[in-house]
Structure 1
Amino acid sequence: MNVIKVISIFVLTGLCEIGGGYLIWIWLKNEKSVWFGVIGAILLISYGFVATLQPNNFDRTYAAYGGVFIIMSLIWAYIFDDFRPTKYDIIGSIIAFIGISIIFFAKRQ
């Protein structure tokens, strides 16, 4: 399994899911143009397709995505929403990363 490819797909999928959700969020919560919602919906649909590019099976892929989304959501909020993570956010993200690595990359017999 090519680790760079796997990580790239995780990041792309995370951007589709978090970006799409964020655009719909600001469309509805901040009364932005309907185009925010349309683009957000397109990104969320894309998320479903991009995830299938992962070489691993469905259960491990989606279990690992949970941890990826924890980390990427905090990074997204830091960049786009003026969120400042606490030490507990960072510790939780490190724990999630360790979990992702075990679930997705551990050798199976």
Structure 2
Amino acid sequence: MLPFKTLALFLLTAVAEIVGCYLPWLWLRQGRSAWLLVPAAASLALFAWLLTLHPAATGRVYAAYGGVYVAVALVWLWTVDGVRPGPWDWLGVAVTLCGMAIIAFAPRGG
């Protein structure tokens, strides 16, 4: 799979997972409507389906996806929760994205 397409798919997958977990959190922690569980379930189903679109071995996909998830979660922290990440947070994201790139795009023999 092309690097841009892979990264875009990982980004979409991460957003689906975060939304699917954030909506129940709003219900449980902030007393929001239980109806939020309906779009949360749909978002988590979308997340699971998106993971199946990768042609690589499942374990490798999950490992590489984890790096992108960390980056998206930090952006979510900043944009949705209003907490600005610090330099160490961004360094951690850089390290995880380097790991993701190695796992996802390294040449594979045979």
Q: TM-score range by the shorter chain?
A: over 0.9
State the 1:19 CA deviation: 1.0
State the 1:66 CA deviation: 1.3
Specify the alignment match of 1:106 in structure 2. 106
TM-score between the two structures when normalised by the length of structure 1: 0.95
TM-score between the two structures when normalised by the length of structure 2: 0.94
Specify the alignment match of 2:64 in structure 1. 64
Q: CA-to-partner distance for each residue in 1:28-54, whole Å, 9 max, x for gaps? A: 110101121221121012111111111
Judge conservation of contact 1:6–1:55 (CA < 8 Å) in 2: no
Specify the alignment match of 1:20 in structure 2. 20
CA RMSD of aligned residues (A): 0.9
Structure 2 unaligned regions, length at least 5: none
Determine what percentage of the aligned residue pairs are the same residue. 39
State the 1:56 CA deviation: 1.4
State the 1:81 CA deviation: 0.3
Please give the alpha-carbon distance, in whole angstroms, between the structure 2 residues aligned to 1:23 and 1:42. 11
Specify the alignment match of 1:50 in structure 2. 50
State the 1:98 CA deviation: 0.2
- Structure 1 segments (4+ residues) deviating >2 Å: none
Judge conservation of contact 2:24–2:40 (CA < 8 Å) in 1: yes
Please give the alpha-carbon distance, in whole angstroms, between the structure 1 residues aligned to 2:65 and 2:13. 9
Structure 1 unaligned regions, length at least 5: none
Q: CA-to-partner distance for each residue in 1:74-107, whole Å, 9 max, x for gaps? A: 0011110001101110000000000000011000
Say whether residues 1:80 and 2:80 are aligned partners: yes
